[in-house]
Each structure stands twice: as C-alpha cells, then as structure tokens.
C-alpha cells in the first residue's frame, strides 16, 4: 500500500470537504444513497428468522438490488428477471446461500451464491457483494469493478490482481486491504465502508505522484 498517495488524497478531500462526510454538501449527496434505510431493510429482511420464508426472502433480495444506488441500471432488471424465473428449488438454493454468506460459513455461502448466480449468467462482483455490504457496512463494501481496479493500481496494493469472475480469495484480500487503508486516514472519511470507497473513487484523479 502506498500510504503517501493515500495521505495526499486525504488532504485533497479535506480541502474540498473540511468536515469529511459531515460536510453539508456530502451529507446531501449521501442522502441520495439511502444507506441507513437500506441497512435497516437488510437487517429486517435477512435476519435468520426472516430467511426462513423462501419466497419473501427472494423478493427482498430483488428489492435491495433494485434500490441500491451502487448496482448498475443494467444489472438490476437482469437480477430481478432471473430470480422471478427461478423454480422454488432454485430460490431455496439462492436464499440458503445468502443465509450461509451472512450468518454461517462465509466462504461456503460465497461459493454457493456464486454457483447459483453463474447458472443465470449473473456472477458479477456487484451482485456477489451487495448483500453483505448492507448487512455489515462497517466491515464490507460493494465491489465496483472499475473502482476496484483503479484503487489497486493507484495505491499499489500488493498481491491483488482483479479478475472479472468473483472468487472468495480476492474478496477477502481486497476487503482486508480496504479495512487496512481506513486505519491510515481520519475516521470521518469512513462512517462506513461504502462511504470510504466513495472517498477513494472521488479522489482518483488527484495528482499524487
């Protein structure tokens, strides 16, 4: 990790937004993402008890993908249509994977979700990470491919090579790298991990040579 570049990005961000994400302009911008509402929705919809209802849980997965400002407009209808076309057994596999991903063995759940989404040609990083992003926003984040590739390159993150097909190994390594980077800057830049990722994206063009 190139900490010098990260510090320069931090300085540039504070020059533009002196109070970090508490700057009025950033608060206004953050409201558009409805982060708090979606976190609450995820906790209500994907609790262990809620996930017992297969059909309702599958519908709630569609809702959180559809409502997320971080998932592309291209992927939202594809996910919705795929889930609606699933048989009850396939929906059961989907919800079971989510349950394992959030509440059980994370690696097992990740690979189960990857398997079912692959069948429907939806094995995308955004769809693989959106659910934990809203359930554990202080630990997880949504992986947007362009941002991920740019962060790895700009901050010289060692041992990380982005590939379009999701893998649990990369998922863990990149998440760990983001959480390590957070520790190097002021706390106001990371009210949650998606916000911190937003800071990295917004400062991508800062001259940090």
CB of 195 closer than 8 Å to CB of 21: yes
Q: Report how far residue 98's alpha carbon sits from residue 113's, in angstroms, rounded to the nearest whole number.
A: 7
CB of 9 closer than 8 Å to CB of 155: no
pLDDT at 23: 75
pLDDT at 119: 96
Residue with tokens 């989510």: 98
pLDDT at 204: 82
* Distant-in-sequence contacts of 105-111, Cβ < 8 A, 24+ apart: 106/168, 107/168, 110/166, 110/168, 110/171, 111/168
Q: Report how far residue 35's alpha carbon sits from residue 169's, in angstroms, rounded to the nearest whole number.
A: 27
- Prediction pTM value: 0.90
Residues with Cβ < 8 Å from 97, sequence gap 6 or more? 109, 112, 113, 115, 116
pLDDT at 94: 97
pLDDT at 38: 95
Mean pLDDT for the stretch of residues 141-155:
93
pLDDT at 33: 67
Whether the per-residue pLDDT at 209 is higher than 70: the answer is no
pLDDT in tens, 22-58: 777 776 776 676 888 999 999 999 999 999 999 999 9
What confidence category does residue 19 fall into, taking pLDDT thresholds of 50, 70 and 90?
A: confident
The share of the chain scoring above pLDDT 70, in percent, equals 96
pLDDT in tens, 112-142: 999 999 999 999 999 999 999 999 999 999 9
pLDDT at 206: 64
Q: Angle of helix 125-135 relative to helix 54-67, nearest 10 degrees? A: 100
Q: Angle of helix 193-202 relative to helix 3-16, nearest 10 degrees? A: 90
pLDDT at 207: 62
pLDDT at 141: 94
Q: Where are the domains of the chain?
A: 3-32+140-202, 36-135
Residue with tokens 């990369």: 170
Q: Report how far residue 171's alpha carbon sits from residue 94's, in angstroms, rounded to the nearest whole number.
A: 19
Q: What is the mean pLDDT of the chain?
A: 92
Helical spans, DSSP H, in the chain = 3-16, 24-31, 35-45, 54-67, 75-85, 88-103, 106-119, 125-135, 145-154, 168-182, 193-202
Whether the per-residue pLDDT at 89 is higher than 70: the answer is yes
Residue with tokens 């590739």: 149
The share of the chain scoring above pLDDT 90, in percent, equals 73
């Amino acid at each position: 990790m190139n900490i010098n570049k990260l510090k320069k990005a931090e300085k540039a961000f504070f020059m533009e937004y002196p109070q970090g994400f508490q700057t009025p302009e950033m608060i206004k911008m953050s409201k558009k993402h409805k982060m708090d509402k979606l976190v609450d929705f995820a906790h209500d919809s994907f609790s262990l008890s809620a996930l017992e209802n297969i059909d309702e849980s599958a519908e709630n997965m569609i809702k959180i993908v559809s409502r997320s400002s971080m998932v592309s407009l291209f992927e939202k209808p594809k996910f919705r249509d795929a889930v609606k076309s699933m048989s009850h057994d396939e929906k059961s596999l989907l919800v079971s994977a989510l349950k394992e991903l959030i509440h059980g063995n994370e690696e097992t759940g990740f690979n189960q979700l990857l398997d079912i989404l692959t069948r429907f040609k939806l094995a995308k990083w955004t769809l693989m990470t959106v659910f934990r992003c809203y359930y554990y926003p202080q630990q997880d984040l949504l992986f947007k491919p362009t941002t991920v590739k740019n962060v790895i390159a700009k901050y010289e993150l060692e041992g990380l090579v982005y590939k379009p097909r999701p893998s649990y190994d990369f998922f863990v390594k990149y998440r760990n790298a983001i959480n390590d980077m957070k520790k190097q800057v002021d706390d106001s830049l990371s009210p949650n991990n998606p916000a911190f990722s937003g800071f990295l994206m917004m400062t991508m063009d800062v001259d940090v040579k």
